[in-house]
């Protein structure tokens, strides 16, 4: 299995508070992604990174920011959490070549009350 | 926006039955991937198909990429309860753009 960890695995927070989710990889892959998964919507891309300090928006980026200061870490921040951001968040990694096959972390279940 | 439509959305079958799930698009993809996701876990890559008309087999699972590289199918022979999960297809357009994911087919195999 690819070495990807996410922390925390579960979090409950209140509306309006900032939240940061961490993704850590030991595979030295160039690309990293943040998705959210909700019933009826499937996996939706929030942001992705194609290198250190190089990031781009996905289809549902509003309300989220990311940072990547090291190859191995990709942080997702909810500046002011809202109930609509209650979801399961997955991090994934890939490398160029091999059709950019993605390897996913175990997920973080976030509940915003 | 490129879309991948998966059908059916839900499928519940008895152990030992065969099934096919589909992944369709109006767009051409350079490759297509299938993932399986079990409850409480992240998706896991099953296979990648890259050539139009390609067929790949993984034990009881057979994957096919359409000749025009716009669609794909996954056929499971003699389904087992361990096949239960969410099956996702994902298409790659050009080299450095993110994968496009379908919404998935949720399969339940009843013993």
When pLDDT is averaged across residues B84-88 and rounded to a whole number, the result is 97
Q: Is the pLDDT of residue B103 over 90?
A: yes
B95 pLDDT band (50/70/90 cuts)?
A: low
Peptide bond into B8 cis (omega under 30): yes
A95: helix, strand or coil: coil
Average pLDDT over chain B reads: 94
Using a CB–CB cut-off of 8 Å, the residues of A that contact B are 33, 40-43, 45, 48, 50, 58-59, 90, 92, 96, 98-107
Write out chain B residues lying below 8 Å of A102, CB-based. 33, 35, 43, 45, 90, 99
Picking from A21, A41, A43 by the largest number of B CB atoms within 10 A of its own CB, the best residue to mutate is A43
A35-57 confidence digits (pLDDT tens): 999 988 889 999 999 999 999 99
A77, A65 Cβ separation under 8 angstroms: yes
The answer to whether A100 contacts B88, with C-beta atoms less than 8 Å apart, is no
As to burial, measured by CB atoms within 10 angstroms (0-12 exposed, 13-18 middle, 19+ buried), residue A51 is exposed
pLDDT above 60: residue A20: yes
Asked whether the beta carbons of B36 and B46 are under 8 A apart, the reply is yes
SS3 state at A3? coil
- Nearest Cα of chain A lies from the Cα of B69 at a distance, in angstroms, of 14
Q: State yes or no: pLDDT of A98 exceeds 80.
A: no
Instruction: Determine, for residues A42 and B101 on separate chains, whether the beta-carbon distance falls below 8 Å.
Output: yes
Burial class (CB in 10 A: 0-12, 13-18, 19+), B86: buried
Residue in chain B nearest A90 by alpha carbon: B42
Q: With 80 as the cut, is the pLDDT of residue A30 above it? A: yes
Cis peptide before B74 (omega within 30 of 0): no
Q: What is the mean pLDDT of chain A?
A: 95
- List the single residue in A48, A103, A107 with the smallest CB-CB distance to B98: A48
pLDDT exceeds 70 at position A88:
yes
pLDDT tens-digit series, residues B53-84: 999 999 999 999 999 999 999 999 999 999 99
Using 50, 70 and 90 to split pLDDT, how confident is the model at A97?
confident
Task: Choose the weakest-confidence range: A8-12, A99-103, B21-25.
Answer: A99-103
Residue B1 has pLDDT above 70, yes or no: no
Average pLDDT over residues A7-36: 97
State which residue of chain A sits closest to B49, comparing Cα positions. Answer: A99
DSSP string, B33-68: EEEEE-TTS--EEEEEE-STT-EEEETTEEEEE-TT
Separation between Cα atoms, residue A26 and residue A92, nearest integer Å: 12
């Amino acid at each position: 299995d690819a070495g990807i960890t996410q922390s925390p695995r579960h979090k409950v927070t209140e509306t309006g508070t900032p939240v940061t989710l961490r993704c850590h990889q030991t595979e030295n892959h160039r690309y990293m992604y943040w998705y959210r998964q909700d019933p009826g919507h499937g996996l939706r891309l929030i942001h992705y990174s194609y290198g250190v300090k190089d990031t781009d928006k996905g289809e549902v980026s509003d309300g989220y920011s990311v940072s990547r200061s090291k190859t191995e870490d990709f942080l997702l921040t909810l500046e002011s959490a809202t109930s609509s951001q209650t979801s399961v968040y997955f991090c994934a990694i890939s490398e160029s070549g091999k059709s950019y096959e993605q390897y996913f972390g175990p997920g973080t279940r976030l509940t915003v009350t | 926006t490129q879309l991948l439509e998966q059908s059916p959305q839900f499928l519940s079958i008895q152990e030992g039955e065969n099934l096919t799930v589909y992944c369709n698009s109006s767009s051409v993809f350079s490759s297509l991937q299938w993932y399986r996701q079990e409850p409480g876990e992240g998706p896991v890559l099953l296979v990648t198909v890259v050539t139009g008309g390609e067929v790949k087999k993984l034990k009881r699972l057979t994957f096919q990429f359409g000749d025009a590289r716009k669609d794909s199918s996954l056929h499971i022979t003699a389904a087992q309860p361990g096949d239960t999960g969410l099956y996702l297809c994902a298409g790659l357009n050009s080299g450095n753009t993110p994968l496009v994911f379908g919404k998935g087919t949720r399969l339940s195999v009843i013993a």
